[in-house]
Amino acid sequence: MTDNNIIELTPFRADLTRALTRRGERLLASTDLADEVATLEPLEAYYIVREIGLNQALPILLQLSQEQLEACIDLDCWNRYDFAADSLDEWLTAFALAGPETLATSFFSLNYVVQLLFLAQTVTVYDPDTDKVPPEDEEKDTTRAMTPDGFYLLELKTELALKIHPFTVLDALYQYDPIATHQLLSEVRVDLPTQIEGEALRFRNGRMEDLGFAPPDEAAVLFSRPAIRQPLSRPQKPIDSVLTRIPSVYVGPLIETTLLQQALSLITDQESLSRLEQEIVWAINSAIIAYGEKTKDIKQITDIAERVRDTICLGLESLLFQQEPNCPLDGAEAVAKASALLEDWYINDLFRHGFAATQGLQKEVRQALREPRFSAWYNLPDTNQSDEPDDRLDRAFVTALLGRHPLRSGFDPAKAEDVKAFACLADIDVAHVRLKRLVAQICRQS
C-alpha cells in the first residue's frame, strides 16, 4: 500500500472528500436533486448557491427548505447591523424566473420580520381614508399605485436600485394570498422601520450563532492573547448544532498538506474528529466576522479559510517549540505531538497562539516607525514614492505587519499587495530578518 493510499484512507481525508462531492455542479447534474439538497446543512447550501451564482442555481433554490433559505438570507442580506434590501432583491429576482407563484411562496417562506423589513425599506404605505397623503412631487418622479384590494396607496422608495420592482413582488403576493399580503402592509404602515429592523436583527443574530458565526465582540477574541494553560477538560463529542460538516468552500485550504492536515489525519476517533472539524468551521466563521468580510465573496472566504488554517499551524508550532525547543518541526514526531495538542486545546485557542506569535513582528515594525527616516519613507505620498518594484514590495510588507492581524505580504513581484498568514516559525524568522535589514537600509540613507 502506498503512502498516497494511506492518506486517502484517513478519516479526516475521507470527510474532506465527501465534502467535495457536495459541490454545486454535481448537484445540478443529479437525478435526485431534491433528496441531495435536503441532506445539505444550511451553511453548505448557502455556499453552494453562492459558488454557482444565483442565476445558475435556480433548480437548487427551488428545493431549499425554509431553514436553508432562511440561513441564506441571514448570511447574504445584512451589512453588519443593517439589513440590505438590495441583496434580498437579488434572491427574489432569481426566484421570479420561475414565475409569480414561486416568487410569492419563496417570499412568504422568509422569516416574517424579514418580510416586513423588505417592504418597509422599499415602499411607503398610506391609507387614503385616514392618512395625510403628501402631494406628488413631479421633480422626484414619484411612483404610486393602489393595492388590488383598494385599501392602500403604495409609494415607491427610490433610494435603492432594485432588479425586481417592489410593486411586482406585491402583485405576486396579492395573487397568491391577498389576506396575508394585506396584513403585511397594514403592519408596515404603522410600524417604524427602525423597530422592525431591530427585531429582525435580534432574531438573525441568534440564528447566526447557531450556524457558528459569533457576534462581532466575541469573534474579535481571535485577535487577542491566548490563555497560558490549556483547558482542564475537552468535550469528546461535537456540540449539538445544525452545523457539523465542513462546507466544500472551506475544504480546499484544509486538504492541502500542512501540519494541521497531517495532525488531523492521525485522529481516528470519529467523534473527536467531528468535534475538531466543527471547531475549525466555527473558527473560520468567526474570522469572517472579525475581518468584517461578507460571505458572498467566495474568493475572499477561501482566502480567510487559508489564513485560519495557517494561523492554527503557526499556533501548533509555537506550542511545540515551547514544550520542546529542540524538537524538529518538520518530522513525524512533530506531527504526532501536534495531533496530541489538538486533543488538548480548542481550535480557537490554537489560532490565538498563532496570532500571538506574530505580535513580536508588529511590535518591531511599530518601533521602527518611531525612527524619523523610516517613518518619513513609509509615509511618503504616493506621488513621491519610488517606482522601483522592490520599494513597492517593502511597503506592502510593512503595511501587512501593521494590520489588526499581522500578515505576510510583499513576497510576489506580480502581486505585491497579496497577503497570506504566517504559517510557521520559519516564516516569522524570515520576516524578522527582512524587517531588520529594511530598517537599516532606510535609516542609513542620507
Which pLDDT value is given to residue 258?
A: 94
CB atoms within 10 A of CB 221: 16
329 Cβ neighbours under 8 A, 6+ residues apart: 259, 317, 320, 321, 424, 425
Indicate the pLDDT class of residue 238, thresholds 50, 70 and 90.
Answer: low
pLDDT above 70 covers what percent of the chain?
Answer: 93
Q: What is the pLDDT of residue 407?
A: 95
Picking from 67, 233, 95, the residue whose alpha carbon sits closest to that of residue 176 is 95
| C-alpha span between 347 and 45 (Å, rounded) | 24
Cβ-in-10-Å burial (0-12, 13-18, 19+) of 310 comes to buried
Residue 71 C-beta-side C-alpha neighbours within 13 Å: 24
Residue 2 has pLDDT above 50, yes or no: no
Please tell me the predicted confidence (pLDDT) of residue 175.
95
Which pLDDT score is estimated for 4?
46
Confidence of residue 10 (pLDDT cuts 50, 70, 90): confident
Q: Kindly tell me if the per-residue pLDDT of 256 is higher than 80.
A: yes
Query: What ranges do the domains of the chain cover?
Result: 216-351, 361-443
Helix (H) or strand (E) holding 419: strand 419-420
| b/e map 79-98, b = 16+ CB within 10 Å | eeeebbbebbbbbbbbbbee
pLDDT reported for residue 6: 42
**Pick from 306, 313, 261: which is nearest to 284 by CA?**
306
**Which tens digits make up the pLDDT trace of 128-181?**
888 887 887 666 677 888 999 889 999 888 667 889 999 999 999 999 999 999
- Give 203-225 pLDDT, tens digit per residue: 899 999 988 898 888 999 999 98
**Pairing state between β 419-420 and 78-79:** unpaired
pLDDT greater than 90 at residue 93: yes
C-alpha cell at 248: 466544500
pLDDT at 3: 46
CB neighbour list of residue 206: distance below 8 Å, 6 or more residues apart? none
Highest-confidence segment of 152-161, 264-273, 353-362 = 353-362
pLDDT at 432: 96
Write the pLDDT tens digit of every residue in 296-353. 888 999 999 999 999 999 999 999 999 888 878 778 899 999 999 999 899 999 999 9
Q: What pLDDT is recorded for position 138?
A: 66
Dihedral angle sign, alpha carbons of residues 428, 430, 433, 435: negative
Q: Which has the higher per-residue pLDDT, 230 or 290?
A: 290
What share of the chain has pLDDT > 90, as a percent?
Answer: 56
> Is residue 364 scored above 70 in pLDDT?
yes
- Confidence bin at 80 (pLDDT 50/70/90): confident
Condensed to tens digits (0 to 9), the pLDDT of residues 94-143 reads: 999 999 999 999 999 999 999 999 999 999 999 888 888 788 766 667 78
Mean pLDDT of the chain: 88
Q: What is the pLDDT of residue 314?
A: 97
pLDDT for residue 195: 82
Non-local CB neighbours of 411 within 8 Å, separated by 6+ positions: 393, 397, 418, 420
Point out the least confidently predicted range of 42-51, 230-239, 374-383, 410-419.
230-239
Which range, of 87-101, 104-118, 182-196, 277-291, averages the lowest pLDDT? Answer: 182-196
The span from the CA of 4 to the CA of 234, in Å, is 32
CA 317 to chain centre: 26
Kindly give the pairing relationship between strand 82-83 and strand 78-79: antiparallel
Residue 378 has pLDDT above 60, yes or no: yes
Contact 75, 298 (CB under 8 A): no
pLDDT category at 7 given cuts 50, 70, 90 is very low
For residue 173, give Cα distances in angstroms to 47, 96, 219, 374: 28, 12, 39, 63
Q: What is the pLDDT of residue 132?
A: 83
When pLDDT is cut at 50, 70 and 90, the band that residue 243 belongs to is very low
